[in-house]
Structure 1
Amino acid sequence: MASRKSPLFDTATTVGKIMSFLGVSALCGLLAAGLIFPLAASGGAAAAAGTDILEDIPAELAEEPLSVPSHIYASDGTELATFYAENRQPVALEDISQEMIDAIIAIEDERFYEHGGVDPRGLSRALVHNATSDSQQGASTITQQYVNNMLINAVVITGEGRLTISGTGEKTYADKLREMKLAVAVEQEMTKDEILAGYLNIVLLGGRTYGVEAAAQYYWGIPASELNVAQSAVLAGMVQSPNGYNPEVDPEASQARRDIVLGSMLDEEVITEEEYDEAVASGLGLDISREEVGCVSASMGEYFCDYVRREILASDTFGPDEAAREELLDRGGLRITTTLDPDAQTAAEEGVMETVPADDSSGAGAAISSVEPGTGNILAMAQNRVFTPEPGDGNTTLNYNVDAEDGGGNGFQPGSSLKPFVVAAYLEEGGETDDVVDASVDEWGDTSRWEASCLERGYTTSDQDWTVGNVEEDSNRRMTIDYGVYFSVNTATLATASDMDLCAITNLTDRLGVHRATDTSQGLSPQNPSFVLGTDEIAPLTQAAAYAAFAADGTFCEPRAILEVTDTHGNEYDVPEANCDQVIDEDIVAQVNDITINIAEGTIAAGDPPFPMAGKTGTTDEAAHTWFVGYSSGVSTASWIGNPESNQGYRGRTVAGEFYEEFFGSTLAAPMWLDYMEQVGGDYDTSDFREADDSPFEDRRDRERYRDGGTVSEGGDPGTDGSAVDSEDDSDDDSDDENSNNGGNNDSDGDDD
């Protein structure tokens, strides 16, 4: 215990010596009389034995920090959730009502300000009572009780020693002696007010509620400074039996005990007869303010809260193992400030629930993950489910937005939302977006070789013969790279990949942090060529972070959720700073953006975007998973609608009360994304994207002609036959990018992307 000289003992040394003498004398006298150690031996033997024990007992109280709740906050300080093993809110003595102070002293230690830690009169009274009565009477002073609670706290925190609190084991005579000696020592180190404040902050007051501040808030929803006479008497009465006199559990017993305390207060003349009568006549007046613990009761962002909790438990910054980290979270009074934007989170939560209600009969899931380009800060994380372990439709603790190790599932196939990565890799290999590929090939044999320099053989083949189809008619022909991506032509993507090294694609996705949701150390594999059509399961947060690099001129940032962690003592814990690297050349990014801007602004925003935006849709077999992943300069967001339970799709089914013959990324995922971005995007950077050095688009009219199926250069077209493409403005309908892939099993007949 830190040495702090008590003003009482510094300024009144004579009184201090007398008080200390009385305390030690009482101990020695009781030892000599054999009252504390009624050994079989008599006289001097007992006294000698007691004296030896007294000398062996440490005189200093080894203090351990009190268990204090931890709190998770949004970036603006909004409290999200509380974690605790003991609900405690430490306050100074001046923040506790005088009525509470008077009540505890009156019932527990009326001579608190007179003794030196041990009360000889109280001891004598208890000894006589216990010797002449069947009932037992205690004589512990408030100081002794404070010591006992501190010892218990130390055992809980360190796991060393043993508990002596009622209900966890009877005190031995050695326990009592140790408590007395430590009480005398504490009185010489701390002021009476310090002891009283410490006691009122540590004492158990029912359930997991500790200290008068937490108790006042729990039972009446008021601070301890506002406790009146009757309320104070209730709490003071609970000290003897925190659960037996719990007003919530047994109001009759609590009220009877309260009235005993009020009688003691009247006897000690700290309340008047009138105050006594009024308090006794009153009811308990409970207004229970139950504060649930953990992410289940988070004010918002329950799934994000769980993500943060798991980050704490996984980091050795907060302890050597998970058990120690959980102990710190539950008891260490951590203040965890996160990256969450409450406004963005509210918009995301409303968006997913309005798009597909949690208990929708379709069982469809909806999720939004949003990150900030240039920092990786997670701004929002929402899904159309209720975070609870309780069974029921729409209930789950599985986080659709994240990897399995972070509380998520197996991830979801991204479909055509993977195509911008293929284009970026193609450009890195020296290609151009207006290069022409032969998209007429839609059958691939198991002997077809695909270059893959990072594999042992330097190439790979498909596991079996497979056929790939496209949704758009007249898509199996020659076309430019950018046209193929804009209309999401699967055969064009495969033609692009077949002309390059597949490992160049996986090298790029590795740099963008793209990995399987089931194994964060496992990036996309070029072993099966179908991966270029988005057959490997990926979490929405991974998608949002990867696309953020296109918004940040090629700078990829690891997603992060925690900005700062401090504890009750002001100690700061090391948390990761923004971890960003330039992973793609900015001009290559600008060329990719030329294509994805057309999709987001022209198709999704119907030519009237609120600010510059870009993105790409994606749909898997039978529309089991549909996406729109897009970005402004300041926000990157992955929007997912799909089946979290199986690969059964939503074509020809009813979702959110509407029947859909066709179901694509542009059906629900894209509108959900646009609505969210319109609400949130304006709070962040909305500047124009960087122009590519050799962009074929000179102005918006060029983009509009391109979206209508024309070309930028006169007389040319996305094909090579010299005729303009007649698309019938397909980019404006639900099939703007939806074509087919093999769903990862190489046997698709081609009906989606």
Structure 2
Amino acid sequence: MIDRMAPRKSPLFDTATTVGKIMSFLGVAALCGLLGAGLVFPLAATGGAAASAGSDILEEIPAELSEEPMSTPSRIYANDGETVIATFFAENREPVSYDEISQDMKDAIIAIEDERFYDHGGVDAQGVARAAVITLTSSRQQGASTLTMQYVNNVLNNASVVRGDGPILGAFAQEKTYADKLREMKLAVAIEQEMTKEEIIEGYLNIIQLGGRNYGVEAAAQYYWGVPASELDIQQSAVLAGMVQAPNTYHPIENPDLAMERRNVVLGTMLRQGFITEEEYEEAVNSDLGVIPAEERPSLDSGCMSTSWANYFCDYVEQEILTDETFGETREDRERLLHRGGLNIVTTLDAELQEQAEATAMEHRPDGTGAVAVINSQEPGTGNVLAMAQSTRYDPSEEAEDGGATSMNFNAGQSHSGGIGFPGGSVIKPFVAAAWIEEGGDMDDRVEAWRDEYEYYEEWDASCMDGGSVTLLPEDDQEHWEINNVIDDTEREMSIDFGLYYSINTATVATAYDMDLCAITDVTNRLGIEGFNALDDYGGLRPDTPSFIMGTATVTPMVMNRAYAAFANDGEVCEERVLESVTDAQGTEYEVPGINCEQAIDPDIVAQVNDTMINIAETNAYVEQLDDDPPFPMAGKTGTHESVSAMSFQGFTEGISTGAYIARPGDDTSLWANGNVPTDQYASSVAFPFWYDYMREVAGNYDTGDFPEADDSPFDNRRDTSRYAFSNMGGTGGGSSDSDDNGDDDDDD
């Protein structure tokens, strides 16, 4: 039964019939006549039908070629604007000018694809006639596309992909539709009127696919032979020209036999057309393909997997681009721009510092413990991230979690492919001291550090909370909150300075108990310290859980280092930044975050706290072991998690602030079996050497001047460590030991 609702195809344009073939061809000829392309076909012979069809379609075809910038790779650079960190691309392409392409390459592509290229105006009358004869007299169809028509197809396809519409399905089909042919011809003629032959050749050889993700002759030349397009010889040019017909079929690496066979066809064509001599032909046809070994080829990996260094910093930068609406309304738009827009992304990364950070992290990685070495550097006064490294291999695949590989950036937070950070432990103590001075105290004020337990349900002053206080609530099944110190016999009265220098837990808690807890969180909030607290919510440190003063909140190394950079910068805290400039292939500049700093702590208060932290860093036993004197002014503080699953040193010079961590990510288990921590294996002897080995190599690249002294410091000589003697403490000397405790669930230090 016949479906009378089905559309009926006119036998006039049914290409399955000889008449249909004739009419289809004559329709094309009519179009060419309308375009004035030099084809003289008797339109009257069509009976008017084909001519009318061609004219109608012609009116509907755009007169101008809709172009978009050619898809080109984006590159991330270090702060020198020259050292490449990583390349992002959907199409591996390096556009070059006409003069940067060898004459052999130009000759080869013209010989095999369009021998009359310099004689036609976009549509080749002889080629169309030849194609018509073959189409009419055989069961196969013959194409007649000129280089200009092929260029049009490639430009249309690129524009569609760049706009996010996807490739034009009919553009590269083996059998193009009647409308496809009409469109090609009209646009090709228009292109020839706007561009020179040299410009068309240049555009064509830059846009074509040449196997896999290689596009354009420069990228292909570099990939297959390790030479620029300007140095392509006859046989290499013939290989590439032959690939145009079927790039992956004639791939010289994947299908060398087919590639050589096709190459020889091109060479024979070049010989017949006079582009090469018989001698040149014989030499080329008898040569092998000569592709370079796999280990010498440029990587076709894109993005942060394509680089052998700074992978985690690269990932951080990528997330900056993909989450910022400056680079597109949607994440898909930003991804397309990053992979196709030819962005030049200059970052804040210092290549020398980065290389040293990576090397030092690997040297200090604790083998066999499941721990990682994590380090990042920021520049005080700008917030520029100078280095970011960890002792793992970057690999985003799911299988990579074992064996020391991961894509998680342990320096960063969850918004930048990171985690929740690490409990800081004693690195929080300088902020307690700063709050004490802000409230009117001094570093030589004495506190009741003898007290090692506090009653549950006792009230602590907290003016920012309802009722002006908080209640110490039980966090375990003990009757009291018990505070322990690592150094024996230190539960006694002492100065704030002494307690901070030796990291005495009972001194820190006594200090906080004698003041307003909200004064402490006010300082940490101004410095931007945020993390996951005891209640598992993210935000600023919470005064409603007094144990926060022991560093119980998990804070990322980046956030903590930003806060410590303020101690190197007279109390001015700066938002961290990784982008210096971003421009696209057309020279368009995108707005990137500028330097954003604000005064968080009074410079004199910073100087007083620094008095103590200078002594902590400069009298460390590791410094004394390696050098007679500290090589430059430096300051900082150690920190150890209660179970010794994480240790850190947050330290700084005038020009660089660096956080160095040795930690077991996501695991509170001690780095040492059964929690039996050797007495010499706390932050001062593990994390500090990691920090110092790195800083002594790079600190001199930036300012290393003296830190300002406090106007009203209670100490006559900031480096006179006699004030830390144990003569009145019932112990022996030995400055800068980190009194981190591993026996109290509430005490992270």
State the TM-score, normalized to the length of structure 1: 0.89
Cα pair distance change 1:210/1:517, threshold 3 Å: farther
- Equivalence for 1:511: 526
- Equivalence for 2:343: 334
1:352 equivalent to 2:373? Answer no
Which of 75, 92, 96 lines up with 1:87 in the alignment?
A: 92
Cα pair distance change 1:160/1:308, threshold 3 Å: closer
- Equivalence for 1:369: 376
Cα pair distance change 1:654/1:677, threshold 3 Å: farther
Q: How far apart are residue 662 of structure 1 and its match? A: 5.3
- Equivalence for 1:290: 298
- Equivalence for 2:611: 594
Cα distance in structure 2, aligned partners of 1:463 and 1:151: 69
Q: How far apart are residue 605 of structure 1 and its match? A: 2.4
Segments of 5+ residues of structure 2 without an aligned counterpart are 1-30, 475-479
- Equivalence for 1:24: 35
1:462 equivalent to 2:472? Answer yes
Cα distance in structure 2, aligned partners of 1:315 and 1:161: 24
Q: Is the 8 A contact 1:230 1:280 kept in 2?
A: yes
Deviations, residues 177-219 of structure 1 (Å, cap 9, x unaligned): 0111000001001111111101110011111111000110111
Q: Is the 8 A contact 1:627 1:640 kept in 2?
A: yes
Q: How far apart are residue 526 of structure 1 and its match? A: 1.2
Cα distance in structure 1, aligned partners of 2:307 and 2:274: 46
- Equivalence for 1:302: 311
Q: How far apart are residue 499 of structure 1 and its match? A: 1.3
Q: How far apart are residue 231 of structure 1 and its match? A: 0.2
Deviations, residues 8-39 of structure 1 (Å, cap 9, x unaligned): xxxxxxxxxxxx987824698679489xxxxx
Amino acid at match of 1:543: M
- For 1:379, what is the secondary structure of its paired residue? strand
Q: How far apart are residue 731 of structure 1 and its match? A: 2.2
Cα distance in structure 2, aligned partners of 1:654 and 1:286: 57
Which of 554, 561, 575 lines up with 1:558 in the alignment?
A: 575
The CA RMSD over aligned residues, in Å, is 2.3
Deviations, residues 675-694 of structure 1 (Å, cap 9, x unaligned): 11100101110100000112
Cα pair distance change 1:596/1:335, threshold 3 Å: same
Cα distance in structure 2, aligned partners of 1:401 and 1:108: 54
* Matched positions, count: 700
1:182 equivalent to 2:187? Answer yes
Q: How far apart are residue 170 of structure 1 and its match? A: 5.0
Which of 622, 633, 639 lines up with 1:618 in the alignment?
A: 639
Q: Is the 8 A contact 1:23 1:184 kept in 2?
A: no
1:629 equivalent to 2:644? Answer no
Q: How far apart are residue 652 of structure 1 and its match? A: 4.4
- Equivalence for 2:12: none
Deviations, residues 716-752 of structure 1 (Å, cap 9, x unaligned): xxxxxxxx334312326xx433236855xx4x6xxx6
- Equivalence for 1:60: 64
Q: Is the 8 A contact 2:33 2:40 kept in 1?
A: no
Deviations, residues 249-291 of structure 1 (Å, cap 9, x unaligned): 1111111000000011101101000000000000110015132
Single out whichever of 323-332 and 281-290 deviates more from structure 2.
281-290
1:549 equivalent to 2:570? Answer no
Deviations, residues 559-593 of structure 1 (Å, cap 9, x unaligned): 11111111111111100111111111000000000
1:440 equivalent to 2:450? Answer yes
The residue correspondences of 1:399-410 to structure 2 (distance < 5 A) are 399-410=409-420
Q: How far apart are residue 135 of structure 1 and its match? A: 3.6
Q: How far apart are residue 422 of structure 1 and its match? A: 0.7
1:534 equivalent to 2:543? Answer no
Amino acid at match of 1:56: E
Amino acid at match of 1:476: E
Which of 257, 265, 268 lines up with 2:262 in the alignment?
A: 257
Segments of 5+ residues of structure 1 without an aligned counterpart are 1-19, 35-41, 711-723
Cα distance in structure 2, aligned partners of 1:629 and 1:115: 72
- Equivalence for 2:13: none
1:571 equivalent to 2:588? Answer yes
1:641 equivalent to 2:662? Answer yes
Cα distance in structure 1, aligned partners of 2:471 and 2:90: 56
Amino acid at match of 1:387: Y
1:699 equivalent to 2:717? Answer yes
- Equivalence for 2:396: 389
Single out whichever of 25-34 and 538-547 deviates more from structure 2.
25-34
Cα distance in structure 1, aligned partners of 2:73 and 2:253: 22
Deviations, residues 512-545 of structure 1 (Å, cap 9, x unaligned): 1111169997111112000011000011111111
- For 1:623, what is the secondary structure of its paired residue? coil
Q: How far apart are residue 637 of structure 1 and its match? A: 0.4
Aligned identity (percent) is 53
Cα pair distance change 1:610/1:621, threshold 3 Å: same
- Equivalence for 1:688: 706
**Superposition misfits of 4+ residues, deviation over 3 angstroms:** 20-23, 25-34, 159-162, 164-170, 517-521, 651-655, 659-662, 707-710, 739-743
- For 2:607, what is the secondary structure of its paired residue? helix
Q: How far apart are residue 389 of structure 1 and its match? A: 2.7
Deviations, residues 419-449 of structure 1 (Å, cap 9, x unaligned): 0011111111111111111112222222111
Q: Is the 8 A contact 2:380 2:566 kept in 1?
A: yes
1:739 equivalent to 2:746? Answer no
- For 1:627, what is the secondary structure of its paired residue? strand
Cα distance in structure 2, aligned partners of 1:64 and 1:642: 49
Cα distance in structure 2, aligned partners of 1:275 and 1:299: 41
Cα distance in structure 2, aligned partners of 1:653 and 1:83: 46
- Equivalence for 1:8: none
State the TM-score, normalized to the length of structure 2: 0.90
Q: How far apart are residue 462 of structure 1 and its match? A: 2.4
Q: Is the 8 A contact 1:107 1:237 kept in 2?
A: yes
Cα distance in structure 2, aligned partners of 1:279 and 1:116: 32
- Equivalence for 1:477: 492
Q: Is the 8 A contact 2:171 2:180 kept in 1?
A: no
Q: Is the 8 A contact 2:424 2:641 kept in 1?
A: yes
Cα distance in structure 2, aligned partners of 1:505 and 1:23: 83
Cα pair distance change 1:333/1:140, threshold 3 Å: same
- Equivalence for 2:132: 127
Amino acid at match of 2:116: R
Q: How far apart are residue 161 of structure 1 and its match? A: 8.1
Deviations, residues 466-515 of structure 1 (Å, cap 9, x unaligned): 21111111111111111111111111111111111111111111111111
Q: How far apart are residue 364 of structure 1 and its match? A: 1.0
Q: How far apart are residue 653 of structure 1 and its match? A: 7.2
1:583 equivalent to 2:600? Answer yes
- For 1:685, what is the secondary structure of its paired residue? coil
Q: Is the 8 A contact 1:403 1:520 kept in 2?
A: no
1:428 equivalent to 2:446? Answer no
Cα pair distance change 1:533/1:399, threshold 3 Å: same
Amino acid at match of 1:531: F
Q: How far apart are residue 144 of structure 1 and its match? A: 0.2
Which of 223, 228, 231 lines up with 1:226 in the alignment?
A: 231
Q: Is the 8 A contact 2:348 2:385 kept in 1?
A: yes
Amino acid at match of 1:193: E
Single out whichever of 462-471 and 613-622 deviates more from structure 2.
462-471
Deviations, residues 389-441 of structure 1 (Å, cap 9, x unaligned): 34241000001101111111121000001100111111111111111111122
Cα distance in structure 1, aligned partners of 2:34 and 2:243: 27
Which of 497, 504, 509 lines up with 1:494 in the alignment?
A: 509
Cα distance in structure 2, aligned partners of 1:30 and 1:181: 17
Cα distance in structure 1, aligned partners of 2:122 and 2:404: 58
Amino acid at match of 1:318: F
Cα distance in structure 1, aligned partners of 2:41 and 2:555: 73
